[in-house]
Structure 1
Amino acid sequence: MTSRTTSLGVAALAGAAVLLLAGCGGTSGDGSQASSGTTSVASSATTSAAGRAEGGATAAPGDAEPGGPAPTRADGGSPAPTAAEPPTSPVATSQPAADSYWDPCTLPESDITAAGLNAATKERIPDLNHPAWKMCRWQAADQTYSVVIAASDRTTEDLLEPGTYQDLRRTEFYRRQVVQYRSVQDTHKLGCYIGTPATFGSIVFTVRNTRIQTDVGDPCADANHLGAALFRSLPA
């Protein structure tokens, strides 16, 4: 009887060690490792219960590292089972708070009107991919162009992705660094971008020509006019 009990106890320990080692062997990034770990703990607990039924002593889940010796009490009895630790939740990637960006829609109506825009056409534009960014659009008082002013965490250098822009100009206005450029996809030159750094990233004016005759007017001239009128109202 003693030989049979000892054999069963050894077999139970060996089975638990194999299952635990199998549970720690996963390397895929899709959560399979966590799944294997759960199976190992459950299987080890089942094996431990079977071992106790036969009179053998096995390690409780979490008492020893996989493959390590089974702990024993000073009086030679089986150790008290310990509760398995709950799985650790993945750490969520922090996103910038919505109030960390300046809101272009808060520009005073007097400044908007003085810049040649129709204050009544103000429209907030949400960005589903970047809900924290702030964007606001106005129409020109003479309806010749529209402008979107955006505040985001993109730096001016991030805006200038290689192969995406043309007609780049760099200058300084009211002690602010300024980049002016067009999109390479804008073959008819209907739009113009002016970007300037901010503490949170950048502020970008996007001017689009809305004239019926697309060969009339210059959106970059309109963007410069807006910059001259509104840059003093922008945050640092």
Structure 2
Amino acid sequence: MKDVNIIFIILALIAEIIGTIGGFGSSVFFVPLGNFFFDFQSVLGLTALFHLSSNLSKIFLFKKGLDKRLLLTIGIPSVIFVIIGGFLSKIFNGLFLETFLGIFLVGLSLLFLIKKKLSIPPNNKNAIIGGSFSGLSAGLLGTGGAIRGLTMASFNLEKSVFIATSAFIDFMIDFSRTFVYYNNGYIHNHDLKYVPYLFVIGILGSFIGKKILAYIPQTKFRRLSLLLILIIGIITMAKLIVKYL
């Protein structure tokens, strides 16, 4: 545990548990939290590696079934656009991306909280559009689970099928963007010491999240998740204001 930030490890576990229960995936929490400990590009690299184990765990734990149609209509556009977003992330500087991430988290969480019955018609066109924006956001900002979650929610999937399908799509996204981030130089040797811990957290957090999920109505925890996302977004913005102004 030498030179390993224990607080970061604990927060990563909490992010994984909440991400599993809330259905958004852990990156929506992990990315802004990681920015308090690492530079933005390092966070992108660690997120991709972290999610490989995290999503494999969810696929195994929630293996009641996968929606093959959504794997194609949401998954394929997500993979294409996460590659595009990954390359675009090299164009913009860290300050711009962190600022956009803060605005993105605050805006999206407020939208979901205010428009409680917000829904998307469950057709192939919207699935493709949602998958494209989710992939682009994941590649550029490190997180796209909230957009994908809103898209998939419109199909009224059974809870375990929802999580398994989302995790499988997320795994495809992370597998693809790992190569792009590595090519961009985002995966640094001095950060690799965290990978074994994040691998264990991905498995443990998914397991704990599944156990808790059985006792908490998804609708109630969804609201709590959105409130946490809002708080993290506000803190991200406040940190940037203090740091640069």
TM range (shorter): under 0.3
> Using CA pairs below 8 Å that are at least 6 residues apart, which structure has the higher relative contact order?
2
Indicate the structure with greater helix content: 2
Q: Which structure: larger Rg? A: 1
TM-score, with structure 1 as normaliser: 0.24
Indicate the structure with greater strand content: 1
